[in-house]
Structure 1
Amino acid sequence: MPGTEPRTHRGESDQVTEQEPTLNLTTGTAAPAGTTTTVAWNGSASSRAALLWAIERERSAPGLLLLLTVLDEAYRGFGAAALNELAVAARQALQAEIDWIRATEPSLPVTSLLLEGNPDDMILAHCVPGSMLVLGRREGRSPLQRWSRAARLASRAPVPVSVVPTAEASTPGDIPGEVLQRSGVIVGVDGSPASRQACLTAAAEAHRRQETLDIVYAGPVADPVGTDDAALPRAIVNDCAQEALFAHPALTVRRRFVPGPAAPVLLRLAQDKALLVIGSRGRGAVAGFLLGSVSRALVANATGPLIVVTEMPSVPDPARDPAPDSD
C-alpha cells in the first residue's frame, strides 16, 4: 500500500526487521491464492469467535487456514524495545493458538503471519484472489460500535468477508450453541451485479455445507415500469436460482418473495439460518466509501454469521455469455 511500511516479525533474535510482508512465519512460504481462509486474529473474544467459525467451515472442505495478526504501526511511538516486546508476545500467542488448532483439528492445514503496519491495509493486502476473510464483530452498546471496522473492511476487500458476531451471553470467544446448530443458507438479491455475485457465493457455501439455499427478494414488489407487480422480483430470483443451479446442479433452492424493508426482512428470515449472504457495491471510485444502508444494518445487527460479497468485475454466465469464437 502506498505510504505504508509493512514489517514482518520473525527470527531467533526477536528483532524487528524489514522483510517481505508475505513471508509465512510458520512455514516460510507465501499463502497460495484461492485456497486460503484468513482470520484476522488478535487474541480477543471476537477474533476467537471468528476463528471457531472458520474452523467449523473448513471441516467440510479443508483449505489453508491463515491466522493474521497486525501490530498497529502506532506502537512505533513507544520505541523499538517496546515494539519488540509486543512482537515476541504476539508471536507466542499465535504459536499457542496454532498448536491448539493442530491438536484439535489435525487434518486442517494451518499457519500464521505476524505483520506491523496499518491494520486495515495489512489485512486487505493479504486477501489473495479466491480466498475468504473472516472477522469477528466486536459487540458494543450501539450498532455503530458493532459496525465500524467490519464494514470498513467489507467495503474495501476484494474477496468475500465473513463477519461473525460474539454473543454477550456466551463464554468469551465462543460462538453461541444455537448459532452452530442452525442450518441453511439465505441470500438477499435485488437484481444488482453485487447480489448476483452474492448468490453464487451463497450457492457455493450451501453446496459446501450440503444445505438448502433460500434466495430472497425483500423490498417493494411493484415493477417501476408498470408491468405485472410480481414480474420483476420473480425474474430476479429465478435468474439467480438458475445461475446457482448451473454451478451446483444437486443444490436444493427455495425462491422467496417477501414485501417490506430489506434489512428487517432479511434479519428476521436469517434468525434460524446458519449463514446470511449479501452483496455490496463496495468502495467504487472513492476511497473509504462504505457499505449501503441495508448492508450496514445487516453487518451491525445480524445474530449469526454474515458474508458480504463486494461487487467485482463481471461474472460470466456460461449459459448466456458463451466464449467468443476464436480466430
Structure 2
Amino acid sequence: MSGDAAVIVGVDGSGPATEAVRWAAREAARRAAPLRLVGVLDWAAFRPLARLADLEHRDRERLHEHVSGFVTADADEARAVAPDVPVSQVVRSGSVREVLLAEAETAQLLVVGSRGHGGFSGLLAGSTSRAICALSPCPVVVVRGEGEHDGPVVAAFDGSPPARAALAFAAAAAASRDATLHVVRAWTHDTAEAWIMDMVPWDQVEAEVDAELQAAVQPWRARYPELRIETELVHAHPIPALVRAARGARLLVTGSRGRGAIAGLLLGSVSQSVLHDAECPVAIVTARGERAPA
C-alpha cells in the first residue's frame, strides 16, 4: 500500500520515539508514502498532581511550544534520514490513545517507540497498548532497539485469519527489504489431558500442521518469486519460539488474535512478553487493519 495515506509516528521527545521516527522515515521511503509526526499534548499527564484545576492559558501555551519543539526536531531528523519523503507534523491535545487511534484512521501504518515520556510512558504496559493493538484501523509497529538488523523478517503463523493477514504484511515487508521471510508455526499439546494425548496420532497431527503452513506460504512464493521463504515448525510454546526467532531479525510480524496458546498474544500478559522481550521492531496486524500489508 502506498500513495496518499501516510505513515504516522508518535513523537514525545524521548530517545525511543526519535528512533521510531528514524525507522518510520525509512519505512515511508520504502512505501513511497508521506510521513506524519504526531505530538500529543495530554494535559492530564503534564499537569502537576497538586493542581487539580485546568492549567492556566499561559502554561498551556508554554507546554504547546515545548511539544512543538521536539516534534520539529524529530521532523528534521526524519528529513535527514529520508530526504525524499514528504514530512508533516502536528501537535494535538487529548489522550495518547485517542489521538493516535484517530490519526490511524487515515494512515497505512502507525509507528511508536518502545518507551516514552508523558502519556506515552505507559504505552506498552497497560490499557493504552491493548486498545491501540486491538482497535487500530491500520497495522501498528513498536520500534525496539537502535538501528536495523540485517536478519530476516519473521512472521508468526497459527492458521487463523489474522495470522494470514500478518503473513501477507510480512511477505511484502521482506520483499521491500530484500530480506528472507522466516515463518514460524509454534504448536504444543502440553495443556491436553494425559489420557487424551495417548489417543492422538501426533505424527499425523504434526504432518497436517506442516501441510497447512506450506499451503499458507505458497501464494507468497508465487507472488514474490525472488523472495526466499523459510518455514519453521516448532513444538513449543509460541512466546519463547518467537522471541528466539526474532533475535537479529529486521521485523517480527504477528496478528492481533489467533488460535490456541497464541490467541491472547496481543491483549494480555503474552503480548507484553513479546513486546518487552523481542529484540527487534514488532509489527501488529490488527483485526481492523488486516487490509493493509506493507
CA shift, 1:132, in A, is 0.7
Deviation of 1:290 after TM superposition, in Å, equals 6.2
Which residue in the other structure is 1:266 paired with?
Answer: 242
CA separation of 1:212 and 1:232: change in aligned 2, threshold 3 A: same
Q: Aligned to 2:30, what secondary structure does the other structure show?
A: coil
Unaligned runs of 5+ in 2: 48-52, 117-121, 259-264
Change (3 A) 1:34 1:265: farther
Matched, 1:188 2:164: no
1:57-92 Cα distance to aligned partner (Å, 9 max, x none): 334343111110110042582122211111122223
Shift of 1:129: 4.8
Is 1:299 aligned to residue 275 of structure 2? Answer: yes
Residue 86 of structure 1 is matched in structure 2 by 63
Q: Which residue identity does 1:312 align to in structure 2?
A: R
Q: Within 2, Cα distance between the matches of 1:37 and 1:159?
A: 10
Q: Select the residue among 93, 97, 107 that pairs with 1:120.
A: 97
SS at match of 1:229: helix
SS of 1:39's equivalent in the other structure is strand
CA contact (8 A) 1:263 1:298 kept: yes
Contact 2:19 2:113 in 1 (8 A): yes
Q: CA deviation at 1:292?
A: 4.5
1:156 CA displacement = 2.1
For 1:241 and 1:34, how far apart are their aligned partners in 2? 30
Aligned-pair CA distance for 1:297: 1.7
1:235 pairs with one of 170, 191, 211: 211
Q: CA deviation at 1:221?
A: 6.9
Q: CA deviation at 1:133?
A: 0.6
SS at match of 1:66: strand
User: What residue number does 2:231 align with?
Assistant: 255
Partners of 1:250 and 1:226 in 2: CA distance: 39
CA distance in 2, matches of 1:313, 1:69: 22
CA shift at 1:264, angstroms? 0.4
CA contact (8 A) 1:220 1:260 kept: yes
Name which of structure 1's ranges 97-106 and 41-50 shifts more when overlaid on structure 2. Answer: 97-106
Deviation at 1:250, TM superposition (A): 2.9
- Determine if contact 1:34/1:131 at 8 Å carries over to the other structure: no
Higher RCO, 1 or 2 (CA under 8 Å, sep at least 6)? 2
Is 1:162 paired with 2:141?
A: yes
CA separation in 1, counterparts of 2:83 and 2:290?
A: 38
1:51 aligns with 2:18: no
CA deviation after TM superposition for structure 1 residue 215, in Å: 1.0
TM-score w.r.t. the length of structure 1 is 0.71
Which amino acid counterpart does residue 52 of structure 1 have in structure 2? R
For the 8 Å contact 1:262–1:294, the answer to whether it is kept is no
Q: Distance in 1 between matches of 2:153 and 2:266?
A: 25
2:8–2:38 CA contact under 8 A, matched in 1: yes
- Write the distance in 1 (CA, Å) between the matches of 2:290 and 2:176: 24
Which piece of structure 1 moves more, 269-278 or 84-93? 84-93
Note the C-alpha offset of 1:260.
0.6
> How far off its partner does 1:135 sit?
0.9
Matched, 1:201 2:177: no
Distance in 2, matches of 1:295 and 1:248, equals 30
Q: Using the alignment, how far apart are the partners of 2:4 and 2:277 within structure 1?
A: 30
Structure 1: runs of 5+ lacking an equivalent: 1-31, 167-174, 283-288, 316-327
- In the TM superposition, what whole-angstrom CA distance separates every residue of 1:213-240 from its partner, at most 9, and x where no partner exists? 0111012279999461223321331232
Aligned counterparts of 1:90 and 1:229: Cα–Cα separation in 2: 55
Query: Which residue of structure 1 aligns with residue 255 of structure 2?
Result: 279
Instruction: Name the structure with the higher helix share.
Output: 2
1:128 to 1:312, Cα distance in 2 relative to 1, 3 A: closer
Contact 1:151–1:291, Cα closer than 8 Å, also in 2? yes
Deviation of the 1:158 alpha carbon: 1.6
**Aligned-partner SS, 1:112:** strand
Aligned partner (choices 10, 19, 40) of residue 70 of structure 1: 40
- One-letter amino acid matched to 1:302: A
Task: Judge which range, 63-72 or 212-221, deviates more.
Answer: 212-221
The two structures have a TM-score, normalised by structure 2, of 0.79
Contact kept in structure 2, 1:34 and 1:128, CA below 8 Å: no
